[in-house]
Amino acid sequence: MKKLGIILGILVVLGIVALVLVTAAAGGYNHLVRLSQAVDAQWAQVQNVYQRRADLVPNLVATVSGAANFEKSTLTDITQARASVSQVKIDPNAAPSDPAKLAAFEQAQGQLSSALSRLLVVVERYPDLKATEGFRDLQAQLEGTENRIAVERRDFNQAVQAYDTAVKSFPAVLYAGAFGFHEKPYFNAAPGSETPPKVQFDFNHTPPSKP
């Protein structure tokens, strides 16, 4: 009878320990789910601001192409860069887990950023174009979008940092992989990328006329 009591006591203790472990594991799992969803939500925000910029490009090209003798090669670069962005197939609602896919996305977006920067430099030689209301409106929208891109990328990296830290922390590291929770890649910040590109023009300055 005494032995039976001891066995029952041991079983009760083991049951309590198992319940505690299951409860802790469930809590840890739910925590990882919330963090993963936060990353996906922030990724959707990143996609939204990049899409907004891509949507501005056709209007920008149409406005600029109306200027007499405007460099056609610059417009071609913009159009091709925008097409390259659309060719990168990536889920807009789920953050990529493959660093190569995120790198391809970054590269395409970087090419569009570079092409837009070159276009805005060329526009400096067209004071009449810069002074038009349509172009000024597009410039303001583009500037705001570039600022939002910088903010959303930063917030995305912060969400990924919180998630990756949880995945690699004890005790989640013991079971995260088994439940499909793996590290997610960051946006790689290029030097100076913490400062969004300035899209500002001196509309009161007219460049010296060519001899």
State the pLDDT at residue 196: 47
User: Is 156 in contact with 43 (CB distance < 8 Å)?
Assistant: yes
In a domain, 15, yes or no: no
In a domain, 210, yes or no: no
State the pLDDT at residue 68: 67
Could you give phi then psi for residue 112, rounded to 5 degrees? -70, -40
State the pLDDT at residue 1: 67
Hey, what amino acid is at 38? A
In a domain, 188, yes or no: no
State the pLDDT at residue 21: 61
In a domain, 52, yes or no: yes
State the pLDDT at residue 19: 63
Query: What is the number of domains present in the chain?
Result: 1
**Quick check: helix, strand or coil at residue 175?**
helix
Q: Which of 106, 105, 127, 111 is nearest to 57 (CA)?
A: 111
What CATH number is attached to the domain comprising 28?
Answer: 1.20.1440.20
In a domain, 158, yes or no: yes
State the pLDDT at residue 20: 59
CA-CA-CA-CA torsion sign (76, 81, 148, 124): negative
Per-residue pLDDT of the chain (211 residues; tens, 9 = 90+): 667 777 777 777 777 766 656 666 677 889 999 999 999 999 999 999 999 999 999 999 998 887 767 888 889 999 999 999 999 988 888 999 999 999 999 999 999 999 999 988 888 888 888 888 889 999 899 999 999 999 999 999 999 999 999 999 988 998 899 999 999 999 986 544 444 444 443 434 444 443 3
CA atoms within 13 A on the CB side of 55: 8
CB-based contacts of 119, cutoff 8 Å, min separation 6: 60, 64, 74, 75, 77, 78
In a domain, 203, yes or no: no
Both tokens of 124, joined, read 């400096």
State the pLDDT at residue 124: 86
State the pLDDT at residue 191: 43
Per the structure, the complete domain to which residue 28 belongs is given by 21-179
In a domain, 196, yes or no: no
Instruction: Provide the strand spans (E) within 128-172.
Output: none
State the pLDDT at residue 201: 37
